[in-house]
Amino acid sequence: MYKLNCLNYPQANDVSVSKTLSIEPLNSNVKFEEMSKDLTSRFNFSSLHSFSFSKEGFLGLMLEFKSNIAVSLGESEAVVQAAELYESLGFSVTYVNLMPDGTIDYKAISSIKEEYLFVSPYIIDTFVKVDLQKVKEVFSGTVISNISATLDANHCDVAYFDAYKLSGYFTHSILLHNNLFKEQNLASIDTVGLKLITDAINKDKEAVTCKEEFINALKESLGDDIIFFVDSDLTLNNVVHFGLKGIKAREVIRNLSLSSIFVTNGEGCSLGLSRPSRIIQAMGYTELQSRQAISLSFCKNLNSEEILHVASKIGKSYRQIKALHG
């Protein structure tokens, strides 16, 4: 099996949670306190907050601000949907557009007057990197970031984790901050989510170095039928994003799964909804073109033989589907 969609479909393990993590109001909750302190100190924050990684959960966070906000259009679907709901309640939201090359509009960020900005170190779907240090140089407010794929909180003021992307389970996510939110009721904190996230980020991860060789193999297999919506040098090291001319990506995805090669066409919040990539359209491509997009994310390095095998399978699958459509 070649699992090339680990950033959207992580490997779920059996869950075993000791009852020592159960929170009791009149006890010291030693295990929970230790785990909370370890996580906050690791990323240099003072407090943590438990919330649902959904439009309702993010709306709840926004309502705590009680002020106008800014949101990058490269954020997760849940964040963008929450922002739209926030607008419907009478608040103003400034949306930061994506450029035609898939990068964020840094110039637009420099003119933002709002105090809070939702922007992460990568764009969903394409996983184009965002330079948060550059963002902080032009924006003086509070930067709120999803660091699930990078585990880098150096240039944000609030960091949060997507429990599903890290563990494979949809449970409450954890947000780290420095006294930005009111202290959370102990009964509202999801210790299971905290445990799953902590375990996931503490796992040793293999540095992926096969990206360039894989891209070259894809070019060899697909020739002029491959499209690169974004420059591969701009994306995370363990991600390849491309498109296949003239067919819908989901047809290739289904076909490849029969050969135990698993890829994806979008970000977790919109998977399974048959929607084309909102991100590709935000870059200026048509809806039809956005349906051609495919994302690969490597959990580990592939050797040269494996790379040639997978690339040839993708090429063969593409040609078969193209022939069926005549």
C-alpha–C-alpha distance, residues 71 and 299, integer Å: 29
Residue 300: pLDDT band (50, 70, 90) is confident
Residue 1: pLDDT band (50, 70, 90) is confident
C-alpha–C-alpha distance, residues 104 and 73, integer Å: 8
Secondary structure of 177-196 in the HEC alphabet? ECCCCCCCCHHHCCHHHHHH
CB neighbours of residue 280 within 10 Å: 26
* Residue whose entry in the numeric block shows the structure tokens 């799953």: 196
Residue with the larger pLDDT of the pair 268 and 88 = 88
Answer whether residue 31 shows pLDDT above 90: no
What local confidence, expressed as pLDDT, does residue 274 receive?
Answer: 57
What local confidence, expressed as pLDDT, does residue 8 receive?
Answer: 67
111-127 mean pLDDT: 94
What local confidence, expressed as pLDDT, does residue 267 receive?
Answer: 61
For 33, half-sphere exposure in the C-beta direction (CA atoms, 13 angstrom radius) is 6
198-220 mean pLDDT: 91
| Contact in structure between 144 and 157 (CB atoms under 8 Å) | yes
Residue 16: pLDDT band (50, 70, 90) is confident
pLDDT digits (tens, 9 = 90+) for 240-265: 999 999 988 888 888 898 989 888 87
pLDDT digits (tens, 9 = 90+) for 175-200: 999 999 988 887 888 999 999 999 99
pLDDT digits (tens, 9 = 90+) for 222-237: 999 999 999 999 999 9
- Determine the Cα angle at 146 with ends 142 and 170, to 5°: 135
Answer whether residue 12 shows pLDDT above 90: no
**Candidates 3.40.50.150, 1.10.1040.10, 1.20.140.10, 3.40.640.10; correct CATH number of 19-201?**
3.40.640.10
The type of residue at 13 is: N
Across the chain, mean pLDDT equals 90
207-325 topology per CATH: Aspartate Aminotransferase, domain 1 (3.90.1150)
Report the percentage of the chain scoring pLDDT > 70.
Answer: 95
User: What residues contact 33, with CB distance under 8 A and at least 6 apart?
Assistant: none
φ/ψ of residue 179, rounded to 5: 60, 30
Q: Where are the domains of the chain?
A: 19-201, 207-325
Q: Which two tokens stand for residue 45?
A: 């924050």
Residue 41: pLDDT band (50, 70, 90) is very high
C-alpha–C-alpha distance, residues 10 and 13, integer Å: 9
- No. of helices (H) and no. of strands (E), the chain: 12, 12
Residue 215: pLDDT band (50, 70, 90) is very high
Answer whether residue 270 shows pLDDT above 70: no
Answer whether residue 269 shows pLDDT above 80: no
pLDDT digits (tens, 9 = 90+) for 55-109: 999 999 999 999 999 999 999 999 999 999 999 999 999 999 999 999 999 999 9
Q: Are strands 69-72 and 116-118 parallel, antiparallel or unpaired?
A: parallel
Residue 317: pLDDT band (50, 70, 90) is very high
pTM value is: 0.92
Q: Which two tokens stand for residue 148?
A: 């699930």
For 130, half-sphere exposure in the C-beta direction (CA atoms, 13 angstrom radius) is 36
What local confidence, expressed as pLDDT, does residue 210 receive?
Answer: 93
